[in-house]
A and B are shown apart, each in its own frame.
Chain A
Amino acid sequence: MSNKIQKLLRKTWVSILLSVVIGFGVGAIALAIAGHNPFRAYSYLFQGIFSQPRHVAWTIINATPIILTALSVVFAYKTGLFNIGADGQFMMGAVAAVFLGHYLHLPPIIHPIVVILGAMLVAGIYGGIVGLLKAKFGINEVITSIMLNWVALYFNNYYITLPGVRKPNTDASWEIQQTAYIRVMNNVKFADDGVERLRAGNWFFSDVVLRTDLNYGILIAIAACVLVWFILNKTTLGYSLKAVGFNKDAAEFAGINVKKNIITSMFIAGAIAGIAGAVFIMGQAPHRVTTLAFSEQYGFHGLSVALIGAVHPIGIIFAGLFFGGIRYGSGSMQARMGVPNEIISIVIGSIVFFISIASLFRIIADRIEKKKGGK
């Protein structure tokens, strides 16, 4: 019996699940202290996610860019790098997407593809700079990334001040062309009689398509996750990137170009965060960039999701949906009970905390073993 528990405790998914449960427990305590009934609060939370098809759709929409920034973090992590710069890369990707989305005039389908490639290139170079500085001068990627995150934020704000970029009477840029939208049934929605036609349709059209920004971004995100998994595990590129991450001295000795691999890895990580920025701009309103005082934290949410997803390219799809879900659902908790949705930040914070110390569960497993003593 205790043997089974031990084995379970050593499994990653079990420790993650336990962390989630404990996280909700901590959140419940916080709720109770604040004078709310935790059970009611949580039931509103889950109603807020699952009660209507459009809520589920919003969960997916919110999760999409975060899954992609998490993927960026995972990719770098698997190759021995810590990409705390996904936040800045996301913003650079978003600015690039707005630029290409607004100024280029291309047919649908082609336009989003061009926007994504452009955002990947810009954000990839932005990540690549970090790799370059690490490879050539040995500067720690965490330090450069944090600084570049700020640079990206101010670049975003600066871009909006450029002549012709700002939409008059707003603190934001112009929207991108509709040809660059990747929303589901975009044409119908913006047709003259579109709203009526959709309203007449079944729940999918009337509830989901009409009332959300449902877009194809999630498919792009899943495809990217699968592709990254494939690259990491099945290709020579993945082999050498991981080899450098595990032991750069041995990799170097085997003739692998360590510097080139570090730059490549950061370029790819940046490019993935760039897809996140592009998908965010093309997929959901307001389809433009806004002057910001602080970053919107997509990169940092990506860090949390990467952890919750066991730093696994497929695991983060589920973790991202979970993360997006409870953040979205917390809105209804707030609306219906007046619970501040910071509570959800506490829940997420504790989950991440317990996952970070997941070795704790393994230690508990070891304890059980020792209590048992020799056979």
Chain B
Amino acid sequence: MDAVYMKNIYKYFGDFCALDDVSLKVQKGTIHALLGENGAGKSTLMNILYGFYNSDGGEIFVNEEKVNIKNPSSAINLGIGMVHQHFMLVETLTVLQNIILGSEVTNRLGILNMKKARKEIMEISEKYGLAIDPDALISNISVGMQQRVEILKTLYRGADILILDEPTAVLTPQEISELINIMQNLIKDDKTIIIITHKLKEIKESSDFCTVIRRGKYIDTVEVKDVSEQGLASMMVGRDVNLHIDRGECDPKGIVFEVKGLTVADYRGLDKVKDFNIKVRSGEIVGIAGIEGNGQKELVEAIMCLAHTKAGNVLINGKEIQNTNPKNVLESGVSVIHEDRHKRGLILDYSVELNTVTQKFKKKPFSKKGILNFEEINNYAKKLIGQFDVRPDDCEKTPIRALSGGNQQKLIIARQVSEDFEIIIAVQPTRGLDVGAIEFVHKELVRQRNAGKAVLLISLELEEIMDLSDSIGVIYDGKIVNFFENDGKVSEQEIGLMMAGGGKNE
């Protein structure tokens, strides 16, 4: 039986055709992957199924019955749940409050029954191993935990058909395999899952079927066990893709960036970065591997002077920058690709072009004597869009909110590598990018290295770290517990072990 059948769906945004006659058939009790480049229309298709958008043509069948999904609440009534690519959480509420928001359990007098809700949620949380801190504020928890909260929220509403839009983009490898387990348990319960992910390995590991769309058009649906990762990649991009970059030899020069004995506390006053040390030379890529929540977030905030350091120094070419201010850090030659593009990376209400100059609108030629020069800004934006293949290619004037997640990310990368910098700190730079775009970003980071820039890569993706880094530091509990040259002598398994805290053999 088909749990979902979306037939000949069309969707226009103005004149732009985001979905052009796309069909999707999902068998009940299966995991069905949706694959496509950034901006292909995956999120749009799922938003139509979830009632977020109305289609401009086509029909939808749920459990073989024709339905009219007017809005998310009618989707929820049909047993459809969705975890969005960008979280929909209220920052000022707690984890628990966010989960029950909109489906509060009340007694007869309409008074919230928090105890009952808490019990139920903690049960689900334990059952699926989705560890959360129910009383933490959303604004204080990591992106990874926010993702877990989103997943829990859907499960709490008892969805039968689960749409997961890039749920694993922020999870650690361990968490991903846990999630895959959860998904498989759900399937056994005869639930249906549609998952969007750019990670081909995950598709191979988890999914039964895979539908590929490219630039708003349906390409094919295949049984996953019949195709290789390479095959999926080519099908999706329409050309052969290099899944692993050959970075070549590095030729490092002097030390550009140095962190010495850095200690940083989080909002509760607990030390999250403890006596942290790292050196990055010009012309090399240093990778920091580690499981989420081991101090990476606080490290970046401290480098940018958005958090106060308790001890230690951050040096650029020997000049101390810690505890100054972000402007000084940027002007000293630091460029950061932040992991949270919506919070720190973009001003969503500004157009694409205005977002390209967030760090240099005060400089010539983008402004003169305090007056913005829109022509220069527009030209600059066009240049970045062209160079980095941001789609659609005429998007300078559209609000950046309307771009697909991957294209937003491409724009941030374009902007940050085009700054004038000595060191670029790339935090999860390829989060949410398709394999074609990842290839592009990796090449770009290597190009920066070869041009004599220092690159510090902080990523939860071990594969990415191993592909790109000339040396690797493993961060655990706020410290670098191992540091070694990435010459192939240390295996992925060994690094994985160090990341889990099993490598304190300095």
Contacts and interface: CB of A to CB of B under 8 A. Distances in A.
Nearest to B366: A236
A234 interface: yes
A243 B347 CA distance: 7
3 tightest Cβ-Cβ pairs between the two chains A and B: A255-B327, A254-B358, A246-B349
B55 interface: yes
B371 A249 contact: no
Contacts, number: 78
A233 B347 CA distance: 15
A370 B58 CA distance: 14
Nearest to A251: B347
Contacts of B361: 236, 239-240
B348 interface: yes
Contacts of B349: 246-247
B137 to A, nearest CB: 15
A235 interface: yes
Given A249-B343, A254-B330, A257-B325, 13 more contacts: A234-B372, A246-B347, A246-B348, A250-B347, A251-B347, A252-B306, A253-B304, A253-B338, A253-B344, A254-B358, A256-B327, A369-B54, A375-B56
12 contacts: A236-B370, A239-B354, A249-B343, A250-B346, A252-B306, A253-B304, A253-B306, A253-B344, A254-B358, A255-B359, A257-B325, A374-B58
Contact of B56 (A239, A240, A374): A374
Interface of B: 10, 54-59, 68, 70, 304, 306, 325-327, 329-331, 336, 338, 343-350, 354, 358-359, 361-362, 367, 370-372
B330 A255 contact: yes
A35 interface: no
Interface residues of A, number: 24
Interface string A238-269: 01101100110111111111000000000000
A370 B330 contact: no
A252 B326 contact: yes
A234 B362 CA distance: 12
B372 A255 contact: no
B350 A255 contact: no
Given A235-B372, A250-B344, A243 B358 contact: yes
A373 interface: yes
A256 B367 CA distance: 15
Contacts of B371: 234-236
Contact of A246 (B306, B336, B350, B362): B350
Interface of B is mostly: loop
B502 to A, nearest CB: 35
Nearest to A370: B70
Interface of A: 234-237, 239-240, 242-243, 246-247, 249-257, 369-370, 373-375
Contacts of A250: 343-347, 358
Nearest to A230: B371
Contact of A254 (B59, B70, B343, B359): B359
A255 B416 CA distance: 13
B478 to A, nearest CB: 22
Contacts of A375: 10, 56-57
Contacts of B358: 243, 250-251, 254, 256
Contacts of B57: 374-375
Nearest to A239: B361
B336 A253 contact: yes
A374 B59 contact: yes
B479 to A, nearest CB: 25
Contact of A236 (B326, B330, B367): B367
A256 B345 CA distance: 13
A151 B11 CA distance: 56
Contacts of A243: 347, 350, 358
Contacts of A374: 54-59
Contacts of B56: 374-375
Most B-side CB within 10 Å, residue of A237, A239, A257:
A239
A239 B372 contact: yes
B344 A249 contact: yes
A239 B10 CA distance: 37
Nearest to A247: B347
A349 to B, nearest CB: 30
Contacts of A235: 367, 370-372
B330 to A, nearest CB: 5
A375 B346 CA distance: 36
Most A-side CB within 10 Å, residue of B336, B348, B350:
B350
A251 B361 CA distance: 12
